[in-house]
Structure 1
Amino acid sequence: MLRPAVNAVQVDCQSLLATARAVSRRRTVHTARQLQQNQSNWAPPASNRRPPNKNYNNNNVDSNNSNSHNSNANLSDLSESLAFLTSNRPPPGNRYQSRRNGNNYNNNNGGNRNINPYNRNRRSDQLETSDNQSFIRYRPFDGSSSRPSRNQYVPGPEDDHGDAVNGNVPPTTPTNPAYAKMLRKLLDLTNNSTPREVFTHAKLMASKGYAPTLETYSCLIQACAHPNVGCSMQETALSLFEELKEEGYTPNSTIYHSLLKIFASSPDYISMERILKEMTGTYGILPDVEGQQHILRHYLTTGQLERAMEMFYERRATGEKVHYNTYMEIIKALGRVNEVEEAMRVMIEFQKEWGSIAGSGIQPIAWYELLNIAASNYHIDGVSYIWKKVVQSPPPGSRTTLNPDDGLCLKVLNTAARHGNPDLALEVFRILTLRNVPFQEHHYAALSAAYARSGQLIPAFRALTLMRNQGIAHTATTANAIIEALTSSGKIENVDSAYATLKDFVASSNDKEVVEVAGFNAVLAACVKLKDLERALGVYTECAALSVAPNTETFNILFKGCVECATPSETPDATPTTPNKELAMFLANEMKEMGLQPDFVTYEELLRVSLYQEEDYEDAFVYLEEMKEVIPGGKVRPMVYSWIAQRLEEKGDERLGMVVEEMKGLGYEEEAKVWEEAVARVAPPQLIYKD
């Protein structure tokens, strides 16, 4: 009955099946010798035999009379007792008729009216009866006292499994009280317990000799579909399913829907299609509402999103209800493929069917999932809609308000920064301020970017100043959004406007409105990006008037200008013309006088200035060696070697082979392959340096 199924619940179902089938083949449990031995060794205890029509109490017990009856026990009494044990009905004078008459078991108490008819737990030696059979069901076989203890369980027909004496296989029909009792317990365990307990009870039923029935298979397959086990017992359920068909049973709707429930979280779409085809085609069983939920969830689990959405909209068109968790699974599945707008449409259907957050329908976790999907994909419309609906201003009377965590707040902040929505960015700052979250560079950078991309340069510069007042150091990319805003139109007038804003900060009476060096460098970088080196130098010379102390990044921007501004604007990818090396050396000396330490970017820009000189580019190799001392491990970025290799190929320099070998030594195999043909053409094999 349970062939390969029990690994998941650690019950030996193979032995269970063997036991059930062995009992079904064996028609006798106890042999004649065992029966004879049982009959010869058993006798009713002497204390329970009472003469008829006499009253007894605790103070008047005739021990001699009791002992005299010990020799009068005959085989007919014993046979009658054993016949009662093997029957499915109680003997005459049974406990049911007796209990209806109080404690008078034979309705003839010999004229004794002192017995309380309501005391059903009186001592048995106070009872008067001529039917010793009434005491056999209470009498233990160890020779101890026959008086039952209080509230002692009295076995009935539902406890007689039919194999106690003659070994006949008990019938597995509802007319058998014992089987009906065990089946009721199996059904109860199926609905209210764990798969382990269900399989354990099924093993007990098999050990009693009950052959598996369709109800048994149905309960076991339902146990395999328990919500706590997901699809981990799929193989067990399918084995039971195939076994019941081999036994000649026809699967019913309950069994098929239990299998659909298992497949709802299973990636095995092949078995799912086979079971569904057999269910609807062979047996004509159509999935009910829950079954359709399971099929829809299976499509989502296996990535069949188109089929899932087609089935979803068909059900919505016909007015069929879609389960709450199914909506959640659909929204998550759409988020995984970045279908934010489709997820928003599903949320609209979600609200129609389950109500808004103001009611008892949609819980905040659903809005959280949708907000996370929209923010992860920088979908500003979805983020703004959800934030305003459930975070900023939820509907009146709403039970709960969505409280996004810090990670989700950061995603929303980055979305606001990318799309230039400073109002949304300030809302995120409000939430984080209420939590006393310490702000860092990326928070202020996003706020500044939101203002800059919306065209509000003054608040963007103020955000940088606020960051400095909070003691937070900026990075080289903090003001990238300001550079993008100043150069997006390609008009140099925007740079002039930004420079005027910086001058207004100096003229302001507010001590906190000072020019931050990050904003100053952003204006310089905008001039360089627009290839106006002269304007950049002009802004640089005003650093003292703006109360700005240049840093290493300031000079790196100017060094970059010495190279970038030498390239024609029409062909930005062309090899730069001769950079202004004299200006670069002047700036390098001024940087040294200010006590600023060069970083690897400084050496990269100076290397480019030297590398693109017409004749003498030997200083580029000097800067390369100095750069190795600055970078931890001496691992120079691969693009630097690409610059050098390109220049050496143009000049036909035989040192190209040495550079390519050095690239391979640093692990830049892919970049080195690009120059292998050039090496074979420019550098003779004997000049290629190898370690």
Structure 2
Amino acid sequence: MNRLILSKALNPLRQTKSQWASVRYSSTQQAEKPVKKMVTYMHPTAPLAKFNNSLSHHLNARGPPRRVLENILRVVDDIKKQNLRLDLGTYNALLTAYSRVREQRSMMRVLEDMEENKVEPNLDSYNIILESLAFVGDVRSQSKIKNEMKEKNIPLTTQTYYQLLNGMCKADELEFALDTLDEMKDTGVAPNLHCYAILIGSCLRLSDANTAFDLLKDAETSGLAVESQPRVYMDVMRAGANGDAADIVNYCWDKAVGVHTLRPDEGTCLNVLRVAAKTGDTKLATDVIRQLSTSGYPYKEHYFTPLMEAFTVKNDLKSAFNVLDIMRVSGIPPSMRATLPIRKQLDRNVDAIDKAYYLLEEMKKEDKTVDISAFNVIVGACADAKDIERTIATYREADSLGVTPNVDTYNAVLEACIQTRMKGMGTVVVDEMKKAGINPNLETYAKMISLACTQRDYEDAFTYLEEMKSYDIVPPEMCYTNLAKKLGYEKDPRFHMVLEEMETFGYKVTPRIRRMWTFENASE
């Protein structure tokens, strides 16, 4: 509660005869006391003035709200013992103390007691109650208080409406709140920036980007100093990002980050990056990556992937390839996962794959570095198209493009061999990998097992499985699943051994896997 309001409410020189009544309210709900002779004036030396000064002191003192309430109730009990009537200032002190501990029911009982004792609540009284009700989103009780104020011709101020809006937003009654904002304007009460901010915050929670932006523009056109609370732009930007509203995101990013130099958190930046990627906004994506670095976040692979995706949306594969080189220079070696936007763009289209390959040749002629990841994504795209000839031909062009194949290159070729069941070619690739001094990784072994399972002679699959385990590596679940499927199809009794080993390593053997054996035997 504002201390100036409290001081005003508790000033003993402002009390009148109509503010005195019999004392019926106390913390212990004691019986009604006989009414004493009414004091006709309030002098600083009057008994109640002393008590109200004490109340003001307790309310302004630091300490836990519960302890403050106890002190306030103790003073009220002292007033009661002297058979003095509580006045408006005393009641407002009680309301304030109960408000701080969020005891809304007690506040409503105080209001009832004021009515019974003929003490009229003033604007401060109602605002205190409305603020407490807003905290818990009790819209129904707030509406009753509002109607009571209108019946008593107590004008609703900006602060009053703010508490009403706050309660509605807490209850996620956004439409009701917007109607109240219109009512506020119609009655000539100008909304302040806090009113707009609380509504925009509700829009953010409800992911209503368009309403949030409309409110922001309304605040700006109303002449409010939105720049004094630039966080409003940040909230609207977050709402816009949640709703994939690119125009809203761009406008608020320029205001919040460009003009007011706010630093959005990593999660917000990633959400904005997602929108930039989806809409092909390479400028915004670049700005966000730069801001992440400025804010002290070290570069990560998933910062750059949206930028690549944005370039692919613009059908600018050459720039997307350049991003891979930028990543490596920035100390982030791109993985095959990082190139997924490019690979998805090629999507088994051999014409698009060939055009992408020609871009790499063009980059080489321009003396630009062709990153190995860019080369691998072309090889992988050929494998996705199940075109073994194009895959091998591309793989053989590594030297001409100035790249040295790595384990991802060989794994991509192995994938093409799996798709076309060409074990002989797969064996050649594995031999070349060994000659190049490149050690197979987990994915390599998994692909070799999958390739072996495409053949009538699948004994090599067990060899690769044992080789993996010799390195103290637990084979991936996919290896066992592929092998179990093959053994079930071939009616190989080692099927049960594979299932037992799966369970030993903690993999779940599903009914579908078990039926692989049952189905084959039942069909004999």
Matched-pair contact (CA < 8 Å) for 2:135–2:170: yes
The counterpart of 1:403, out of the listed 262, 276, 281, is 262
**Using the alignment, how far apart are the partners of 1:655 and 1:170 within structure 2?**
101
Residues 240 and 518 of structure 1: CA distance in aligned 2, closer, same or farther (over 3 Å): same
Matched-pair contact (CA < 8 Å) for 1:221–1:237: yes
Give the share of equivalent positions with the same residue, in percent: 25
- 1:518, distance to aligned residue in structure 2 (A): 0.7
Which digits, 9 at most, give the CA deviation of each residue in 1:313-354, with x for residues without a partner? 554566653342332232232223332233222222232335
- 1:654, distance to aligned residue in structure 2 (A): 5.2
The residue identity in structure 2 corresponding to 1:620 is: A
- 1:551, distance to aligned residue in structure 2 (A): 0.5
Residues 527 and 315 of structure 1: CA distance in aligned 2, closer, same or farther (over 3 Å): farther
**Using the alignment, how far apart are the partners of 2:48 and 2:263 within structure 1?**
54
- 1:585, distance to aligned residue in structure 2 (A): 1.2
**Using the alignment, how far apart are the partners of 1:678 and 1:531 within structure 2?**
27
Q: Tell me if 1:559 matches 2:425.
A: no
Which digits, 9 at most, give the CA deviation of each residue in 1:193-244, with x for residues without a partner? 666557525523532524463633332113333xxx4x63435435545666
Which digits, 9 at most, give the CA deviation of each residue in 1:283-323, with x for residues without a partner? 94688244443232222213334433444455456665334
- 1:474, distance to aligned residue in structure 2 (A): 1.9
**Using the alignment, how far apart are the partners of 1:318 and 1:240 within structure 2?**
30
**Using the alignment, how far apart are the partners of 2:284 and 2:293 within structure 1?**
14
The counterpart of 1:506, out of the listed 354, 364, 379, is 364
Q: How does 1:210-609 map to 2 (within 5 A)?
A: 210-211=82-83, 213=86, 215=88, 216-225=90-99, 229=100, 232-234=102-104, 236-238=106-108, 240-241=110-111, 252=121, 254=123, 255-267=125-137, 269=138, 272-274=139-141, 276-277=143-144, 280=147, 284=151, 288-289=156-157, 290-312=159-181, 315=184, 320-355=189-224, 357=226, 363-375=229-241, 378-392=244-258, 394=259, 401-405=260-264, 407=266, 408-429=268-289, 431=291, 439-487=299-347, 491-508=349-366, 510=367, 513-564=368-419, 566=420, 579-609=421-451
Residues 342 and 662 of structure 1: CA distance in aligned 2, closer, same or farther (over 3 Å): farther
Residues 471 and 204 of structure 1: CA distance in aligned 2, closer, same or farther (over 3 Å): closer
The counterpart of 2:458, out of the listed 614, 617, 632, is 617
**Using the alignment, how far apart are the partners of 1:425 and 1:452 within structure 2?**
13
**Using the alignment, how far apart are the partners of 2:521 and 2:127 within structure 1?**
74
Aligned residues: CA RMSD:
3.9
**Using the alignment, how far apart are the partners of 1:213 and 1:680 within structure 2?**
87
The residue identity in structure 1 corresponding to 2:365 is: A
| 1:179 match | 47
Could you say what secondary structure the match of 1:288 adopts? coil
Which digits, 9 at most, give the CA deviation of each residue in 1:234-277, with x for residues without a partner? 354355456667x766774654443221121115x4xx525644
**Using the alignment, how far apart are the partners of 1:596 and 1:266 within structure 2?**
64
**Using the alignment, how far apart are the partners of 1:287 and 1:646 within structure 2?**
78
- 1:553, distance to aligned residue in structure 2 (A): 0.5
- 1:680, distance to aligned residue in structure 2 (A): 5.7
Q: TM-score, normalised by structure 2?
A: 0.78
The residue identity in structure 2 corresponding to 1:536 is: T
**Using the alignment, how far apart are the partners of 1:314 and 1:610 within structure 2?**
75
Q: Which runs of 5+ in 2 are unaligned?
A: 1-25
**Using the alignment, how far apart are the partners of 2:87 and 2:296 within structure 1?**
63
- 1:626, distance to aligned residue in structure 2 (A): 3.6
Which digits, 9 at most, give the CA deviation of each residue in 1:507-553, with x for residues without a partner? 23x4xx22110111111122222332211111110111111110001
The residue identity in structure 2 corresponding to 1:349 is: D
Matched-pair contact (CA < 8 Å) for 1:528–1:536: yes
Could you say what secondary structure the match of 2:399 adopts? coil
- 1:594, distance to aligned residue in structure 2 (A): 1.0
Matched-pair contact (CA < 8 Å) for 2:465–2:475: no
**Using the alignment, how far apart are the partners of 1:217 and 1:635 within structure 2?**
74
Bigger Rg, which one: 1
Could you say what secondary structure the match of 1:374 adopts? helix
Q: How does 1:8-157 map to 2 (within 5 A)?
A: 17=27
- 1:414, distance to aligned residue in structure 2 (A): 4.2
**Using the alignment, how far apart are the partners of 1:640 and 1:657 within structure 2?**
15
**Using the alignment, how far apart are the partners of 1:628 and 1:404 within structure 2?**
48
Matched-pair contact (CA < 8 Å) for 1:441–1:472: yes
The residue identity in structure 2 corresponding to 1:182 is: K
Which digits, 9 at most, give the CA deviation of each residue in 1:429-469, with x for residues without a partner? 55567678754434444433333332222222222223333
| 2:75 match | 204
Could you say what secondary structure the match of 1:522 adopts? helix
Which shifted more, 531-540 or 547-556?
531-540
Could you say what secondary structure the match of 1:545 adopts? helix
Residues 262 and 557 of structure 1: CA distance in aligned 2, closer, same or farther (over 3 Å): same
The residue identity in structure 1 corresponding to 2:86 is: T
Q: Tell me if 1:672 matches 2:513.
A: no
Residues 318 and 500 of structure 1: CA distance in aligned 2, closer, same or farther (over 3 Å): farther
Which shifted more, 584-593 or 650-659?
650-659
The residue identity in structure 2 corresponding to 1:549 is: T
**Using the alignment, how far apart are the partners of 2:82 and 2:187 within structure 1?**
47
Matched-pair contact (CA < 8 Å) for 1:453–1:482: no
Matched-pair contact (CA < 8 Å) for 1:364–1:402: no
Q: Which runs of 5+ in 1 are unaligned?
A: 1-15, 26-168, 395-400, 567-578, 685-691
